[in-house]
Amino acid sequence: MLDPVISVKDIRKSYGKKSVLNGIHFEVTKGSIFALLGENGAGKTTMVRILATLIQADGGLATIGGYDTSRESAAVKKMISLTGPQQ
């Protein structure tokens, strides 16, 4: 089995008392096609913002190319070529 390029394990994120991500798990292997689908308010944008290092998860682990999105954000940004406003 190929090592995942994106790995998401038990990601959690809340805004106040509102839990928007609660234990999300998925992996994406190199060369695969992956879609993140869900209803409005399901947390898709929040998940992408965590993966892009624009916000931090409250718990769990997300890696891109083996780099931890919360502890190695500069390496992740370089790997994904993140540009533009980084708010």
Query: Which residues are paired to 29 by β-bridges?
Result: 4
- Answer yes or no: are the C-beta atoms of 45 and 51 closer than 8 Å: no
Query: Residue 63, SS3?
Result: strand
Q: Residue 3: which pLDDT band, with cuts at 50, 70 and 90?
A: confident
Q: What's the pTM?
A: 0.89
Q: What is the pLDDT of residues 33-86, one digit of tens each?
A: 999 999 999 999 999 999 999 999 999 999 999 999 999 999 999 989 876 665
Q: Which domains does the chain have, with CATH numbers?
A: 4-79 (3.40.50.300)
In whole angstroms, what is the distance from residue 79 CA to residue 62 CA?
Answer: 14
